[in-house]
Amino acid sequence: MSDKEQGEGDAMEELMARQRKEKKELQGHIQHLKKHINKDKKKKKEVTEEIQRLETELKERHASELAALQTSQDTEPIAAVSDGVSAVSFNDTTEDQEEESQPPIGQQGKKISKAEKRRQKKAEANREREARIKEAEANNKHSARSVEAAKLKSLLRERSLKMHEIQPDGNCMYAAIAHQLGGDSTIASLRTQASQYIRDHYDDFSPFITDPNTGDLLTPEQFSDYCDRVESTPLWGGQPELRALSLATKKRIEVLQAEGSPIVFGENFKDEKGIVLTYYRHYYGLGEHYNSTMPLSRQSDEAQEEEES
């Protein structure tokens, strides 16, 4: 086996090993998602759709990587072919002719046959890759993620607003509110305000905060521990924390969502400039997510919105 063939074999083995590892990691993540599905049928449907999306994305990416590696290995002796091109370039013919002019007598037919096989294999790989890309684009256009994004973009445009993307982690709700409050507001300060307000108003909040595993109301000790975690960990924020922050900051907080009417906290705070958040169920791989918003005031912003829609 030549050094070139050995190198190609090593690259293929490395790719297959990495893909096997990624498949195993995805299966672990899927098991983790399934483990947290409760009896809520709506939540079960969302998790099932997310699992299908993750599996489809990984399968398509692996197929694309494999096709790309095969193409690169097949075309090293000849001119590179740009993405999406299935026809053979003039450079392929020229270099093949140079290759064919050198082989020993009796070997010429064999050399030409290999070159033809390379061209056919390369063209077939490109055709398959183009078909997969088109299929993925068609599926993505009608996916829950795309539909949700389009609906929220339309809602924002009606209010002359646009999305301001927030990093998708456990702090997204607090980061989105801090973005709109400005000044000295930070994730840490907002977590402290939310935690303290909930702790000081036990009777108002305890009926709405339950154990995520059993659905039971929290004991006073569990309630206190919950408040500690709100303040000092990246615990995901939800409606109790939104309500607490609205009351603590005396701000009207409105949450836009693709499905259903907007959720409003602090309806009485009409004299102050309100906060508008967007809530996503499907758009981000990690699950539920909040983004901030900002005015869509400049013509360039409006033009960009029209172009993307």
Please, what's the b/e burial string for 38-57 (b: 16 or more CB within 10 A of its CB; e: otherwise)?
Answer: eeeeeeeebbeebeebeeee
Note if 227 is an active site residue.
no
Distance of alpha carbon 98 from alpha carbon 256, whole angstroms:
65
Both tokens of residue 8? Answer: 């190609």
Closest CA to 232 of 208, 265, 196: 196
- DSSP label of 261: P
Q: How far is CA 79 from CA 27, 69, 92, 119, 145, in A?
A: 40, 15, 6, 11, 39
Q: State the Cα torsion 151-56-82-80 to the nearest 10°.
A: 160
Kindly name the residue from 96, 227, 282, 289 that is annotated as catalytic.
Answer: 289
Kindly name the residue from 169, 200, 211, 225 that is annotated as catalytic.
Answer: 169
Q: How many residues does the chain have?
A: 309
User: Is 22 within 8 Å of 30 (Cβ atoms)?
Assistant: no
Kindly name the residue from 74, 92, 172, 282 that is annotated as catalytic.
Answer: 172
Note if 172 is an active site residue.
yes
Which sequence positions are flagged as catalytic?
Answer: 169, 172, 289
